[in-house]
């Protein structure tokens, strides 16, 4: 998500009453960062943790195991 596009030095505004968090970077800059972004290499490549990292769903999806890869 957009969190991956935040870089050191970016200003982040937190508006608690409105329940919003914004990064103060232009849409053009975020689009540019998104076009250059690549997922990081897995830290674990073998063993149980490697299998788990391939099968685990996101926390927002219940942190369950995928039934299909």
The tens digit of pLDDT for each residue in 29-59 reads 999 999 999 988 888 889 988 888 888 888 8
Q: Is the pTM of this model over 0.75?
A: no
pLDDT of residue 23: 92
Judged by phi (left if over 0) then psi (alpha if -120 to 50, else beta), residue 63 lies in left
The tens digit of pLDDT for each residue in 8-24 reads 999 999 999 999 999 99
pLDDT of residue 16: 96
d(CA 25, CA 6): 9
Task: Give yes or no for residue 69 having a pLDDT over 70.
Answer: no
Phi, psi angle pair for 33, to nearest 5°: -65, -40
Structure tokens at 31: 């689009």
């Amino acid at each position: 998500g957009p969190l991956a596009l935040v870089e050191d030095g970016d200003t982040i505004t937190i508006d608690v009453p409105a329940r919003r968090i914004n990064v103060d970077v232009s849409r053009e800059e975020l689009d540019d960062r998104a076009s250059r972004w690549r997922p990081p290499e897995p830290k674990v490549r073998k063993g149980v943790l490697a299998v788990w990292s391939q099968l685990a769903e996101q926390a927002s999806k219940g942190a369950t195991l995928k039934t299909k890869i």
